[in-house]
Every structure is written in structure tokens, then in C-alpha cells.
Structure 1
């Protein structure tokens, strides 16, 4: 079995990147206030995961990136009063609203590049990304993301049975 080259967990509210807004003076800025703290959380988690590997070099060959973003459920998914902690039967099983998955991936890839994990986000040749609610099966207990990276060349070196 091929082992991932890096696996890490970033905690915090995942923030989307990509939407820009123009202010009254014509300057462009990120429309999401969550993108900067999210990128810092991912960068910090990546640097923590790599702190023991002094020989680490940013990945320049094709990689596979798997990311599971864990998002907090909106209060509207729960009952009120004494049922405030009870999930409504009508609550959706998966997050289908904002933030957009592709924009979450974009901010995460940029943070991995900033941390020196990836030479560029263009080295990601295969991507598996998903959004899940916190506390769902296999999800984190708090908002964040589980990020796993494999070198694709390792898949081709693996012996076949």
C-alpha cells in the first residue's frame, strides 16, 4: 500500500478564495473575511507537520490531493427551546450551500504552496474534495479539514498482485 507523503489536519473555519469585491476607490479585495485566517491555519498545520523533516523540498511532480472540509451546521438545522440540540428531520445530510467547494480547495492549495508543501498548485493532477458537517460519520469534531497528499509516481512503482 502506498503511504501518503503528507497528512495533516487544519482546524478553523474553512474560508473560500476567489471572489473579489471592488471598493469605492476601485481597489480589489477578498470578499470572504474567512480566507486569510483559513490560509494561516492550513499553513501552520503544514509547517507543524514538516517541522521534523529538514530535507523536505516542495513537491514539483504530480500529486494527488484529498481534502475533507468539515463545516459547522447552521443553527436553523436544529430545533428550538428544549430541542435546541436536536437535529431537525428536514436538515440536509450534506452541506450544499456556501462556501463553494472549488473555492475552498483554491484557498487550501494556495496555503499549501505558501507553506512550501507544493511548488505550485498546478502540480495537483488528481483531486478528491468533499464537504461534510462537523460530527458526521468520519468528520472532525470541530470545523477544519483533513488533508492528504500522495506522490502519483509512487502509485506506478507499487508492485501488482
Structure 2
């Protein structure tokens, strides 16, 4: 049997950036967008969470909707091929799902069915405002 969880998060996606050393073995996140993004993801995940953290293989879809630049063409499809990096968006979101107790650890993630960044109205899975649509399929262990 397979369970499915859908989480929709609104907010500005924040990439997991590089860390910098500030002394005494302390590292801090260099991106100021990560903390508010993780809080948004954690809050949305806690709303749909039921039961203990997932401790089984998970297949994931993450479609990030980014703000479309004002300079981008209005009447044709455009691609968000600039920063933030897609892999860094996924990493910060995975960590927030772990903090929210959705899964025991993001190592449970065995496959991405789709990992994308799009603009509003330009993809069937795009949100109407910046954020992410996450679908988790939990496989039987």
C-alpha cells in the first residue's frame, strides 16, 4: 500500500546556501532567505502531518514557483534559469521537512519524480504565487 502526502507552501523559496565560519567552530548560514523559508515549510508541513515521522522509502515531487521578473516577456513561456539553484532549494526544503517531523531523515528520499522551478501560470503544477507544491509518495518498506 502507498500513502500520499501533499504540502503546499506559500512564501519566497530560500536556497540552502554556503555557510561561513565566524569563529569558535560556529558556522552560520550565508543566505538570509533560508530561515524564513524553512519556517514557512515547517508550518505548512505541521498542518498536514499526522502520526509519527515517515520511516519508509519516499518518492518526491517538488515544483517551486518563483516570482517572475518584471523584465520577462509576458506572453510567452520563460524559464527561471537564474539563481536560486534548484538543488539548493530542494536541500533547504528537505531539511525543513525533517525539522517538521514529516520523515525521520531526508535519507528516506529515494527518488525525485519531478524537481522543477517554474513561474506562476506557466506550468500545470505552478502555484499562483511564489512557493512550492510538494507531493510525497510513501512506499511500503
Normalising by structure 1, we get a TM-score of 0.77
1:37 aligned onto 2:32: no
- CA separation of 1:129 and 1:88: change in aligned 2, threshold 3 A: same
1:136 aligns with 2:131: no
- Partners of 1:24 and 1:61 in 2: how far apart? 38
**Inter-partner Cα distance in structure 2 for 1:4 and 1:108:** 20
Aligned to 2:134: 147
Name the residue aligned to 2:60.
65
Give TM-score, length-normalised by structure 2.
Answer: 0.87
1:105 to 76, 90, 98: 90
Which residue pairs with 1:47 in the alignment?
46
CA distance in 2, matches of 1:103, 1:33: 14
For residue 137 of structure 1, report the CA deviation from its aligned partner. 2.9
Out of 95, 103, 108, the residue aligned to residue 123 of structure 1 is 108
Paired residue total: 139
Over the aligned positions, Cα root-mean-square deviation in angstroms equals: 2.3
- Provide the C-alpha distance between the structure 2 equivalents of 1:117 and 1:12, rounded to a whole number of angstroms: 19
What secondary structure sits across from 1:106 in the alignment? helix
CA contact (8 A) 1:18 1:106 kept: no
Structure 2 distance, partners of 1:137, 1:107, is 23
Task: Give 1 or 2: higher strand fraction.
Answer: 2
- Which structure dedicates a bigger proportion of its chain to helix? 1
Q: Hey, what's the Cα distance between the residues in 2 that align with 1:3 and 1:70?
A: 27
Q: Which runs of 5+ in 1 are unaligned?
A: 79-86, 155-161
Mapped partners of 2:75, 2:24: distance in 1: 45
